Structure 1
Amino acid sequence: MKFPLYIAKRYLFSRSSNNAINIITIIAALGVVVGAMALFIVLSGFAGLKDFSLQFTNVFDSDLKVLPASGKTLSFAVNTEESLNDIEGIASYTRVIEERVFLNFKGKNHIAYIKGVDENYGTVNPIDSILFHQEWFVPNREEVVIGLNTAHKLSLGVRDYSSLLEIYVPKPGTGQINALDPTNAFTKQNAIVSGIYAVNEDLNGKYVFSDLEFARTLLQLDSTTVSSVELKLTPTASEEKVRGDVEALFNGVGRQDIQIKNRIQQNDALYKMLNSENLVVYFVGTLVLIIAVFNIVGSLIMMILDKRKDIKTLHSMGAELKSVRKIFFWQGTIMTTLAGLFGILLGVIAVWGQLQFKYVNITSTLPYPVQLTLLNVLIVFVTITLLGIIASKIASSRVRSALLN
């Protein structure tokens, strides 16, 4: 092991008598440096975009959400509330009523979801992080908070007492709707817009926030019925333990079948999309790196041909072909690894520079998001090392007995 490694290092750090081989080797090494740097920057950039996209779900979705396994509602009586307060690991919770509604304002229409929340909602989800204009609603005043897109679509401002927002929901039942007077089939509530929230393009037109009693009256639900219960966990809480305790609680109260979703499960489609895109980005970057790394094969083969006399001399001194192959295998592996490490170092400097100085912007006020993580360093390093080993193995296999003739 020491003999092939020693010779490999001598070959790697000494110049060849053939200047063309020196140039080709330098170009091959630079290709690996650029490829490693590019792959690291791309992965860091995508990690930043992923984190940037998910930060909206962190302020809008709770740590855990209790939903009915079937149907739209579940029972949440006073004794259930008291038992939920006794579960260790739950910092706070909020009751939610959610249903699709029809909005009308001065002849302009929009379909959204009413989201009735109680006074604890602000302790579970940070209201200040989503509120874009004016203020959150005051309970029992028939006030609502709408999304930015909804406000634009309805041309609806804040505190417009001259014209109220009309909210319609179909009345429960199976009777036919009278085509001459369809309003009889709907329950209607008027509301004042107290504020506007902004999260992202998808959510800004989806919800209308109201207090819990407003939503109950609109949907004609009793005081023990909710659509879901959102939970905020303490920093040291065990998610699995809290899940088990909550499931046991609801199974023991009326034998209710529930499902509990964490933040990832509440946005499983978004997470799957981002993970798939991350995988595609990695494969595309790796494909470019493969092309760069396999230039090493060509430079090693040329080095083998150039060192034919040295190979004959080593063989005459008793070195087996297996040991001679290891010389060039180690040479290629070390070259690829060192070039990859240098490329990663340059990538780290570039990403750190973006974090510190923000020299690349998406808009004039929004720097391109990047994330400097050890995981990306390890991914790129392992990828380069594996590709370098494969390329070096292929090149070193060209050392055959025919070279000794």
Structure 2
Amino acid sequence: MIRLSAARKHFGSKSLFEGLDWLITPTDRIGLVGGNGTGKTTLLKILGGMEPLEGGLFSAPKDITAGYLPQDGLSLSGRTVMEECLSVFGDLLELEEEMEALTHQMAEVDPRSDEYHRITDRYHRIETEFQGRDGYSLEAQASTVLNGLGFAPADSNRPTEELSGGWQMRLALAKLLLIKPKLLLLDEPTNHLDLEARNWLEQYLNEYSHAFVLVSHDRYFLDATVNKILELWNGRAYFYSGNYERYLAQKSERQAQLQAAYRNQREKIKHLELFINRFRYQATKAKQVQSRIKELEKIERIELPAQEKTIHFAFPQPPKSGRMVAEFRGVAKSYASKQVFQGMSFVISRGDRIGLVGVNGAGKSTLIKILAGSEPATAGEFGWDTTWKSTISHRTSIRRSTLAPA
């Protein structure tokens, strides 16, 4: 179990949290929520041993391992994708190398000699350890995690420096999941994942055998993976049981109860003060006045937390289009010899709400760019409703058909 006692941390003159008491048990699934700048990432780093506390205590058993995934900024190079994954099994790989060396030695030594028996004894001992720790399935384990996070089998031999920043982060996540730390610390792990990889990670975390603390702005991901919520707000920590949806309900209930208690207390204080002020100078009421004064002094004032700031904005309404907004007729797109898609035909009508899904590399962003007029199609034709053609005509040289509103 990991414990924070009266923990305190500041960022410059700003207090991130004060007096934080937190016990993390081996099976906790915790969602860490709060506005930007409230200290979520800092708290993850404290749990991971990368940031010190400014006050209070942090304690954990010696055998506790913590693994931290930042939001971004990692860069891997010098190995293939598979080699990078297997690098987390350094001690097992050393055992495997020793086993191979011992095998060569056994082939060169007289089987009747004492040295041969010494070598075979050593081999059997480390082979038993290697097998007990699933050493023979390391590549299979790595392949399972890589496949779940969207890597194709052919990617195993790709140099890591060829990967984009998003895929570098996926690879870093794969390494962390292979380590299986006792405390998994994930800071926005779904930022670089497509839908399939996100769903796989959701299932993986639901089956994870140790504790994890998760920061995510994906409320549906939190709903599906966590059973506790820690909210950082206004320099304090608030604990809730259940997933994110339950947290919202409990938070609303807690705020309503706090406001009701605050109003009741203000009414009580008001009545006490009125009595004291009214009878302060009447000798016959002196004893009662003193009693009210003592009662007033003993009241522990309820304070309402600062209201969360809400950003208000509005998008200007575009000109109204016709019933048909856009149409694709046999549109294709390729980059050199790589065919992204072809034969794409569809109509977008006014009022449509369309979700565009697919694996990485399927052409989702390319299709959006073609629709926006910032990317040319390779073949086929398409057009927009004439009501708003002119607003984007200066941004595209794509061939367009003349499509009249339906």
TM-score, normalised on structure 1? 0.22
Structure scoring higher RCO (CA < 8 A, sep ≥ 6) equals 1
TM-score, normalised on structure 2? 0.22
